[in-house]
Amino acid sequence: MVDEAACWPDLILTGLTYDSIGHGSPQTAEERLVWLGRRQNTEKFDPQPYEQLAKVLKATGHAGEARRILIEKERDYARRKRQAAGTGPQWLHVIWLWLMDKLTRHGYEPWRVLPYVLAVWALGWGIYSDTDRHFAMVPAKERVYMSEKYQEGALPPQYPRFNAFIYSVDVFFPFVDLHQESEWRPATEKVRKDQSEFYAHNGWIAKVYTWIHIALGWGS
């Protein structure tokens, strides 16, 4: 395909296929997004012009430019969903698309989520550490926390010790079992004599936060 920006008014790109972009023709994603923006008949979402352009750009060694085109395809879809959402439950999908754009550029730049993941881990680490300081992290097994030995402040020798950082990681990843989430839980009731007077307060904070922590883990 050989063209130039001066020849781009009112384009019909649906169904257009090409194997390469000629030398001297606009090659960058920024220029080609202007080109895509001048299409006719854009009432309905049409991914084909985006995907065709991205395919050619990637095949000619412009992988970064191709990625930008595919990201813009997803943003175009998200804009249309937002405009059509009204006030119904479709807004949940709109919010999800917005989050995916901010966190991972719709999956095309997954490394962007890493700072958010680290921040969530650190927040969970702090919350669970504080909960443990108030003796509000208790064994998940009733036979353990109801035992006389635990009431005196001792755990069975074989029982895994609580680790706030590993617990935060374990809760975050739904398909990983580090033997913390399955063995420990935030307590919202008194199960030990030496629990702090703030145990219920800390336990409920940790419990509610855990639901959020899990949801963020699934989302990532």
* 44-93: pLDDT as tens digits: 899 999 999 999 999 999 999 999 999 999 999 999 998 887 766 788 88
Given a cut of 70, is residue 193 above it in pLDDT? no
Domain spans, the chain:
5-102, 114-219
pLDDT in the model for residue 93: 86
CA-atom Rg of the chain in angstroms: 26
| Mean pLDDT value across residues 186-194 | 72
Given a cut of 80, is residue 27 above it in pLDDT? yes
Task: Kindly list the distances between the CA atom of residue 67 and the CA atoms of 3, 81, 176, in Å, as whole numbers in the listed order.
Answer: 22, 21, 31
SS3 21: coil
**How sure is the predictor about 198, in pLDDT bands with cuts at 50, 70 and 90?**
low
| Mean pLDDT value across residues 151-159 | 80
Average pLDDT, the chain: 87
pLDDT in the model for residue 191: 64
| Mean pLDDT value across residues 12-18 | 91
| Mean pLDDT value across residues 182-194 | 78
Go through the chain and tell me how many residues it has. 220
**How sure is the predictor about 184, in pLDDT bands with cuts at 50, 70 and 90?**
very high
- Residue 147: both structure tokens together: 């035992």
Given a cut of 70, is residue 134 above it in pLDDT? yes
In this prediction the pTM is 0.71
H/E run at residue 127: helix 114-133
In angstroms, the CA 155 to CA 145 distance is 9
**How sure is the predictor about 30, in pLDDT bands with cuts at 50, 70 and 90?**
very high
Question: Which percentage of the chain shows pLDDT scores above 70?
Answer: 93
